[in-house]
Amino acid sequence: MNITLAFDVYGTLIDTQGITSSLEKYAGPQAAEFARLWREKQLEYSFRRGLMQNYVSFDICTSHALAFASSALKIPLQQSDKDSLMYQYKVLPAFADVKNGLAKAKQAGFRLFAFSNGRANDVEALLNHAGISDYFIDVVSVDEMKSYKPNPGVYSHFLRRSAATCSEAWLVSGNPFDVIGAVSSGMRAAWVKRSPETIFDPWGIAPTLTVNNLAGIAEQISRAGTAA
């Protein structure tokens, strides 16, 4: 059986808090709070768009979230400032463990895909900038479905696009909502719990596997697959 891994991008491979250093120019000591609120609203807006069936692309959700964070924290931004920050969001860094983890997963014979709320061209640019694009067979974007995670339809779309079945496919994500969505849709899922303070939603739907980083993901998924 060829195991297929669907790697979430934002918050799993790519560090969304990496925008903090760029925000310091505008927000000073509030930069970390600005970054957190920006990300929180970005996700909230995608959830709401999905429920409303009023789709706009993820970069527009991101732009609207930036405007909200600016207003909420009373940090005025010129349009040129917003344009600069939106560009910086497209060149965010990967987490330090990512290259090693992806290399081991590929060496183990797994089929690797990037699976994201972001548009394919934005995701490809991120992966290229981070130097990790060559590890992936393809990028699967929810933009192709005009909806967002955790809509069960987007997980089915991933399975179709990757030519995998639920029994062969794992989602790998640092986002609890994504893990719950995948498990609820019949996939297995590894939750990347990067911070000991992060709380998994108490819904009674647990990740198949919990890891602290991606360094040993291949070995741990192999063991879990054998046990299953």
Catalytic residue among 8, 15, 97, 178: 8
Distance CA 8, CA 190 (A): 11
Is 8 designated active site? Answer: yes
Q: Smallest Cα–Cα separation from 102: which of 90, 93, 111?
A: 111
Distance CA 155, CA 183 (A): 10
**Rounded to a whole number, what is the distance in angstroms from the first to the last CA of the chain?**
12
DSSP 8-state symbol, 134: G
Residues in the chain: 228
Strand partners, 139: 114
Beta strands in 142-203 (DSSP E): 169-173, 188-192
Q: Tokens 């060829």 map to which residue?
A: 2
Distance CA 58, CA 118 (A): 5
Q: Using CA of residue 63, residue 65, residue 68, residue 73, what is the dihedral sign?
A: negative
224: three-class secondary structure by DSSP: helix
Residues known to be catalytic? 8
